[in-house]
Amino acid sequence: MDQSPDPASNREALPGETVDRAILDYAERALHDEHRTSPFWIWPVSAAAALAICVGLFSQIANFVAPPTVVIMAPGSSAEPGLPPAPAVGADLDPVSSGALGDPTEQLIEQLRAARSADDPQRFATVLAHAEARGIELSLDRDLRDWAVRHGLASAQP
């Protein structure tokens, strides 16, 4: 008796070629789509974006929980206990709070020079008091110091 497999039976006991092709194509397409939608740079970019979102959200939450306060100081008041009352100064005397760029010490010196040029001891004293209130130590040059001494605004010792 012939024991070789019956060709007709074998053919019927296997899926058709169309089915084979469909399955293999499906698998290949799945892998292709996976790589196309996940390029190598997507993770760093995604991580950076996620971090930025987290930071933004955190900032929003922090602002919501503790909104930033704006303190408007009345003339003569002081924001910090223990400090002498801040002088009533205009925005032009406060380069830091007015948003001016540069070294605040240099800005104050410039304002002292301006007061010296205008021969305005009151204005000079205001700038000095302002510097002291802010804890800024000013080093006056000889001309300014002599002028201040003359008007009783500084001691003769440097």
Partner 1 sequence: MTAFMDRPPEDASSTDEALMLAFRDGDHRAFQLLYERHRGPLFRFLLGSVGEHATAEELFQDTWMRLVDARQRYRVKARFTTYLYRIAQNRLIDHYRAKRPTERIDPEDGRYGATTESSGPAAAPEREQSLIAMHRAIAALPLEQRTAFLLRNAQDLSLEEIATITGVGRETVKSRLRYALNKLRAALGGIYGPVA
Q: Is 36 in the site for partner 1 (CB under 8 A)?
A: no
Q: Is 43 in the site for partner 1 (CB under 8 A)?
A: no
Q: How far is the CB of 26 from partner 1 (least distance, A)?
A: 6
Q: Is 42 in the site for partner 1 (CB under 8 A)?
A: no
Question: Binding residues for partner 1, how many (CB under 8 A)?
Answer: 22
Residues whose CB falls within 8 Å of the CB of residue 14, separated by 6 or more in sequence, listed in order: none
> Do 140 and 154 touch, CB atoms closer than 8 A?
yes
Q: Is 9 in the site for partner 1 (CB under 8 A)?
A: yes
Q: How far is the CB of 44 from partner 1 (least distance, A)?
A: 14
Q: Is 28 in the site for partner 1 (CB under 8 A)?
A: yes
Q: Is 80 in the site for partner 1 (CB under 8 A)?
A: no
- Torsion 71-73-79-81 (CA) sign: negative
Q: How far is the CB of 32 from partner 1 (least distance, A)?
A: 9
Which DSSP letter does residue 4 get? S
Percentage helix, strand, coil for the chain under 3-state DSSP, each rounded to 5: 55, 0, 45
> Do 140 and 112 touch, CB atoms closer than 8 A?
yes
List residues near partner 1 by CB under 8 A: 1-2, 6, 8-9, 12-16, 19-20, 22-24, 26-28, 30-31, 34-35
